[in-house]
């Protein structure tokens, strides 16, 4: 499917449809269309914007409750101060916003498609099925969550009196990106599961719940928990490592390992997706 031909920009002149081969401009255009569709739908429900704003504030406050209860009586936990833990929490809120805004919404659309059989139409389109499935739906108002998380992050850093230098900022961003890739890989595996067990309408809840552990600095978890959350479901990596990077506590090797891990996870997820697709096209009637 990945044809090695050079990218031809879509020329509007020739009516004999100058069809660009399946390369970046094509997929960028496709993404733009999908985004525009979701945004148009979101615009129809303008009241949702306010509702989402209220919900963002609600959950932001809610997320702070355990932190406040804990640090009311304790100065630090496993070497993490209140402000440092706040940075991790802020990362969590930001990534959660991206998860619920850009990744999870498509899940509902896909599961619905598989159940109604309309997924066949996705397979009939000459674009990569994974791409179509991943961009099926967005919830643009969740950007407010991300903004809230950023605000919290800034607040925590200010309270700490620590301004990350350029290197730390870059590392933090890269690791947040790696975390995103990791989350997406998990999401893709969950979607692949939907092929086998058709009635999984509550999958979106699963992903959100599993992500729960990423609120806390990884160091907080001991023993088996630590192993699970670092290697099996590397949730600790997703939020803690970017925090460590921003705070200047991360060493290069660990950071690189995390990025490599994210890439490996993405590859595994893609392989599982293709397996699921192969299974679907053999087994469905």
Q: Return the residues of window 128-147 that contact another protein according to CB under 8 A.
A: 132
Show the site string, 83-122: x = touches another protein by CB under 8 A, - = not: ---------------------------------xxx-xx-
Restricting to residues 144-183, which ones interact with another protein according to CB under 8 A? Answer: none
Provide the token pair at 142: 């969740």
CB of 273 to another protein, least distance (A): 14
- Is the Cβ of residue 42 or residue 259 nearer to another protein in the bound state? 42
CB of 27 to another protein, least distance (A): 10
Strand residue runs (E) in 78-187: 80-81
**Residue pointed to by tokens 């991300």:** 146
Restricting to residues 46-75, which ones interact with another protein according to CB under 8 A? Answer: 51, 55, 58-59, 62, 65-66, 69-70, 73-74
Q: What are phi and psi of 99, to 5 degrees?
A: -60, -50
CB of 84 to another protein, least distance (A): 15
Measured in whole angstroms, the distance separating CA 74 from the mean position of its chain's CA atoms is 32
CB of 147 to another protein, least distance (A): 19
Among 34, 91, 104, 240, contact with another protein (rule: CB under 8 A): 34
CB of 217 to another protein, least distance (A): 10
Restricting to residues 214-253, which ones interact with another protein according to CB under 8 A? Answer: 215-216, 220-222, 225
- In a 13 Å sphere around the CA of 18, the CA atoms on its Cβ side amount to 8
Q: Compute how many residues bind another protein; rule: CB under 8 A.
A: 72
Q: Does residue 33 touch another protein according to CB under 8 A? A: yes
Restricting to residues 11-30, which ones interact with another protein according to CB under 8 A? Answer: 11-12, 14-20, 22, 26, 29-30
CB-CB contact of 209 with 198 (8 Å): no
Burial classification of residue 164, based on how many CB atoms lie within 10 Å of its CB (0-12 exposed, 13-18 middle, 19 or more buried): middle
| Residues whose CB falls within 8 Å of the CB of residue 105, separated by 6 or more in sequence, listed in order | 38, 136, 137, 138, 139
Among 87, 213, 247, 262, contact with another protein (rule: CB under 8 A): 213
**Residue pointed to by tokens 């809840």:** 205
Show the site string, 191-210: x = touches another protein by CB under 8 A, - = not: ------x-xxxxx-xx-xxx
Strand residue runs (E) in the chain: 76-77, 80-81
CB-CB contact of 194 with 203 (8 Å): yes
At 79 the three-state DSSP class reads coil
CB of 111 to another protein, least distance (A): 11
**Residue pointed to by tokens 């615009």:** 43
Q: Does residue 260 touch another protein according to CB under 8 A? A: no
- Is the Cβ of residue 18 or residue 169 nearer to another protein in the bound state? 18
CB of 162 to another protein, least distance (A): 24
Query: What separation, in Å, do the N-terminal and C-terminal C-alpha atoms of the chain show?
Result: 25
- Is the Cβ of residue 33 or residue 154 nearer to another protein in the bound state? 33
Bridge partner residues of 77 (DSSP): 80
């Amino acid at each position: 499917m990945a044809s090695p031909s050079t990218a031809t920009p879509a020329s509007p002149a020739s009516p004999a449809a100058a069809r660009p081969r399946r390369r970046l401009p094509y997929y960028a255009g496709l993404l733009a269309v999908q985004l525009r569709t979701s945004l148009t739908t979101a615009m129809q429900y303008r009241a949702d914007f306010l509702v989402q704003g209220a919900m963002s504030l609600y959950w932001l406050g809610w997320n702070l409750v355990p932190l406040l209860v804990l640090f009311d009586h304790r100065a630090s936990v496993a070497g993490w101060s209140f402000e440092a833990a706040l940075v991790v929490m802020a990362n969590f809120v930001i990534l959660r916003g991206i998860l619920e805004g850009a990744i999870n919404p498509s899940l509902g659309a896909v599961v619905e498609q598989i159940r109604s059989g309309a997924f066949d139409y996705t397979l009939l389109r000459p674009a990569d099925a994974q791409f179509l499935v991943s961009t099926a739906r967005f919830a643009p108002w969740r950007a407010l969550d991300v903004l809230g998380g950023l605000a919290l992050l800034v607040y925590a850093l200010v309270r700490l009196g620590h301004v990350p230098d350029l290197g730390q900022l870059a590392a933090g961003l890269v690791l947040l990106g790696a975390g995103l890739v990791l989350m997406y890989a998990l999401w893709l595996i969950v979607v692949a599961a939907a092929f086998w067990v058709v009635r999984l309408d509550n999958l979106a809840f699963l992903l959100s719940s599993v992500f729960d552990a990423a609120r806390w600095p990884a160091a907080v978890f001991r023993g088996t928990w630590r192993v699970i959350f670092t290697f099996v479901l590397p949730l600790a990596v997703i939020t803690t490592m970017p925090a460590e990077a921003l705070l200047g506590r991360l060493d290069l090797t660990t950071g690189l390992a995390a990025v490599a891990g994210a890439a490996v996870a993405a590859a595994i997820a893609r392989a599982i997706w293709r397996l699921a697709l192969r299974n679907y096209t053999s087994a469905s009637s």
